């Protein structure tokens, strides 16, 4: 990829740099569309005669695709730049959403079922959307981090991440405003608006080299100290030797033949969690960071403790996000015997919009709270895990308590804040526990942890809904047939065969399970705080012993 080489002529706020930032925000905005799945999932299920379990498998495919492709795409972005991932994102998003739209438009004949081959194709198309999403957002974050100095990383990368978080809100608002109740039009919007911007980004989203004054830290300082850790000029048993990162050919970056480091000792090929968080979330204290990775990471009990917490909470969050459309439909149908498809669709998109906005707010709020606790209260980042688990507990209690569609926004808002808080605080915990030098690699392993729980919780939720569908509960069928006026039965007929329409009872038992899971996560978080405190005290004692030996 060709980069601008005349650093002195490219100002910090030059047009190419601002264009790269704006393009990155747009790409991230078009990459977060997996969260809008619950808007069209019930209609997709009714059109293709899918069970709730099958719908959850389709939704899972998109999430799993993003999880699995994350480390691979990140590696490609680091070594070859954003061009290849953006091209892949264009192809994957176009093929994924176009395939889903074609199958939705084709439908299934009355009384028929979707063949296993066609269902496999639907799952594959959904996984393509996940591949495309991670390709787009990784390219956007990496480009932004390389195009701006460390002093602006928190602001610029924050803009990009906020675009990703607000994606569901933007697309659901467009759908609700311009074509309410038209699922085919929504899918066409996703086909065009997730693929074409990736193609256009090939000409805009590319790293713009910094002026030479920003590239390297000043090494001849009057004070002999590290600009990040502010350590005394003495050996440290936990010092991260950034020179060592040059040793491996596999870590060779996009810019130059040597692995440059910025003011924070972070490789310039690093992405958001290495650079943005390094700017203000993990290196604010004088304590040294560890350097744990590879086999040492995979044999660390603390790694598996964090994996368990992330796995449990990640599964709980995605279960709600992928099914909030079905929850809204069940509550609406139970309270409105005269079914209005447009109004029902509006309730679904409203919940997704609330989730999206609160997810964005949670990312910001947890960062402020975590930084305040770390800087002013001198509390370790592990305490943020307790806050995170507590937020999930509140969200599950809200979901269990809601029995009216008008109050569902409370549960959606709490889940959005909880899920966004997890995305905001967990990378900084990984940095504090395992170090910064190999943070991308470590975070990639942690991101794989929700895969088992996501599958278990999603299938559990789907089977719970299927167990309460009218086709499997004769008493419920009779109740609904009496409740629906004659002129509405035609509209309800196909939907009631595949949708649970009896309100809160459709799903509440699933949330009782996830409430207990969230409580277990809180208990594990307390264990994490205890272990982290012991580990930190032991590190302080070792440093003190080393100081006494040296003096």
Q: Strand, coil or helix: what is 219?
A: coil
Residue 226 is given by DSSP the state -
Identify whether the C-beta of residue 192 lies closer than 8 Å to the C-beta of residue 174: no
Domain end, chosen from 201, 216, 240, is at 201
* The pair of three-digit structure tokens given for residue 237, joined into one six-digit string: 């048993």
Question: Do 392 and 536 lie in a common domain?
Answer: yes
CA end-to-end distance (rounded Å), the chain: 52
Identify whether 482 is part of a domain. no
Residue 424: closest CA among 370, 503, 350: 370
- In this prediction, what percent of the chain has a pLDDT beyond 70? 74
Identify whether 275 is part of a domain. no
Half-sphere exposure of 291 (CA within 13 A, CB side): 13
Identify whether the C-beta of residue 41 lies closer than 8 Å to the C-beta of residue 168: no
Question: Do 197 and 318 lie in a common domain?
Answer: no
Digit-coded pLDDT (tens) for 203-245 = 988 888 877 665 544 434 333 333 333 333 333 333 334 334 3
Identify whether 525 is part of a domain. yes
Question: Do 35 and 178 lie in a common domain?
Answer: yes
Task: Please give the tally of structural domains in the chain.
Answer: 2
What is the reported pTM? 0.68
Identify whether 226 is part of a domain. no
How confident is the model at residue 341, as a pLDDT?
Answer: 75
Identify whether the C-beta of residue 54 lies closer than 8 Å to the C-beta of residue 466: no
The vertex-364 CA angle with 361 and 369, nearest 5°, equals: 115
Identify whether 218 is part of a domain. no
d(CA 530, CA 528): 5
CA 180 to each of CA 167, 172, 175: distance values in angstroms, whole numbers, following the listed order = 18, 10, 6
Identify whether the C-beta of residue 522 lies closer than 8 Å to the C-beta of residue 389: yes
β-partners of residue 267 are 261
Question: Do 169 and 304 lie in a common domain?
Answer: no
Tokens 């707010």 belong to 361
pLDDT above 70 (res 11): no
CA 139 to each of CA 2, 206, 252, 269, 272: distance values in angstroms, whole numbers, following the listed order = 15, 9, 17, 11, 11
Question: Do 351 and 457 lie in a common domain?
Answer: yes
Digit-coded pLDDT (tens) for 244-278 = 433 344 344 443 443 444 434 444 444 443 444 44
Q: Exposed/middle/buried for 199, CB within 10 Å: 0-12, 13-18, 19+?
A: middle
Question: Do 303 and 431 lie in a common domain?
Answer: yes
Q: Strand, coil or helix: what is 106?
A: helix
* CATH for 105: 1.20.1250.20
Identify whether 545 is part of a domain. yes
Digit-coded pLDDT (tens) for 469-493 = 765 444 444 444 444 343 334 334 4
d(CA 216, CA 328): 53
* The pair of three-digit structure tokens given for residue 163, joined into one six-digit string: 């675009």
Domain end, chosen from 181, 201, 221, is at 201
Digit-coded pLDDT (tens) for 169-207 = 888 888 888 888 788 999 999 999 999 999 999 998 888
Query: By residue range, what is the domain housing residue 318?
Result: 290-470+496-550
Higher pLDDT, 20 or 75: 20
Overall size of the chain counted in residues = 551
Identify whether 460 is part of a domain. yes
Identify whether 328 is part of a domain. yes
d(CA 159, CA 236): 36
3-class DSSP string for 136-186: HHHHHHHHHHHHCCHHHHHHHHHHHHHHHHCHHHHHHHHHHHHCCCCHHHH
Question: Do 48 and 146 lie in a common domain?
Answer: yes
Question: Do 81 and 196 lie in a common domain?
Answer: yes
Q: Which residues are within 8 A (CB) of 461 and not within 5 positions of it... i.e. 6 or more apart?
A: 52, 56, 319, 323, 507, 510
β-partners of residue 261 are 267
d(CA 117, CA 509): 32
Identify whether the C-beta of residue 507 lies closer than 8 Å to the C-beta of residue 461: yes
How confident is the model at residue 398, as a pLDDT?
Answer: 94
Half-sphere exposure of 454 (CA within 13 A, CB side): 23
Domain end, chosen from 179, 201, 223, is at 201
């Amino acid at each position: 990829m060709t980069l601008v080489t005349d650093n002195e002529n490219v100002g910090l706020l030059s047009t190419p740099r601002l264009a790269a930032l704006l393009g990155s925000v747009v790409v991230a905005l078009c990459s977060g569309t997996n969260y809008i799945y619950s808007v069209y999932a019930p209609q997709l299920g009714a059109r293709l005669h899918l069970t709730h379990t099958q719908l959850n498998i389709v939704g899972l495919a998109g999430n799993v695709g993003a999880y699995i492709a994350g480390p691979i795409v990140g590696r490609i972005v680091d070594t070859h730049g954003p061009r290849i991932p953006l091209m892949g994102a264009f192809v994957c998003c176009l093929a994924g959403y176009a395939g889903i739209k074609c199958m939705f438009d084709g439908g299934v004949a009355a009384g028929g079922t979707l063949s296993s081959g066609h269902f496999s194709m639907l799952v594959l198309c959904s996984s393509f959307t996940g591949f495309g999403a991670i390709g787009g957002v990784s390219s956007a974050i990496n480009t932004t981090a390389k195009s701006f100095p460390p002093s602006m990383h928190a602001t610029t990368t924050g803009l990009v991440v906020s675009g990703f978080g607000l994606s569901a809100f933007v697309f659901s608002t467009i759908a609700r405003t311009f074509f309410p109740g038209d699922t085919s039009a929504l899918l066409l919007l996703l086909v065009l608006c997730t693929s074409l911007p990736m193609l256009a980004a090939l000409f805009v989203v590319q790293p713009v080299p910094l002026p030479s004054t920003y590239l390297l830290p000043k090494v001849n300082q009057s004070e002999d100290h590290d600009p990040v850790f502010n350590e005394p000029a003495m050996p440290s048993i936990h010092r991260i030797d950034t020179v060592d990162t040059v040793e491996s050919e596999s870590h060779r970056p996009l810019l130059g033949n040597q692995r440059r480091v910025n003011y924070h000792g972070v490789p310039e090929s690093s992405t958001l969690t290495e650079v943005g968080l390094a700017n203000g979330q993990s290196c604010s204290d004088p304590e040294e960071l560890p350097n744990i990775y590879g086999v040492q990471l995979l044999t660390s009990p603390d790694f598996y403790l964090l994996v368990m917490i992330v796995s449990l909470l990640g599964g709980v969050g995605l279960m709600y996000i992928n099914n909030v459309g079905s929850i809204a439909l069940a509550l609406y149908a139970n309270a409105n015997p005269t079914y209005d498809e447009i109004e029902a669709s509006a309730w679904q998109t409203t919940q997704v919009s609330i989730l999206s906005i609160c997810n964005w707010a949670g990312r910001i709020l947890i960062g402020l709270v975590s930084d305040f606790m770390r800087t002013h209260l001198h509390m370790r980042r592990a305490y943020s895990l307790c806050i995170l688990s507590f937020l999930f507990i509140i969200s599950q209690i809200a979901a269990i308590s809601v029995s009216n569609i008008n109050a569902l926004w409370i549960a959606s808002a709490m889940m959005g804040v909880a899920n966004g808080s997890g995305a905001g605080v967990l990378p900084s915990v990984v940095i504090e526990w395992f170090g910064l030098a190999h943070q991308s690699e470590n975070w990639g392993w942690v991101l794989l942890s929700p895969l088992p729980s996501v599958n278990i919780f999603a299938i559990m939720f789907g089977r719970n809904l299927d167990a309460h569908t009218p086709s499997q509960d004769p008493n419920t069928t009779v109740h609904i047939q009496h409740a629906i006026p004659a002129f509405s039965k035609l509209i309800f007929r196909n939907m009631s065969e595949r949708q649970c329409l009896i309100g809160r009872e459709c799903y509440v038992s699933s949330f009782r399970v996830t409430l207990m899971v969230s409580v277990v996560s809180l208990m594990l978080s307390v264990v994490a705080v205890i272990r982290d405190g012991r580990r930190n005290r032991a590190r302080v004692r070792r440093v003190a012993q080393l100081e006494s030996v040296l003096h």
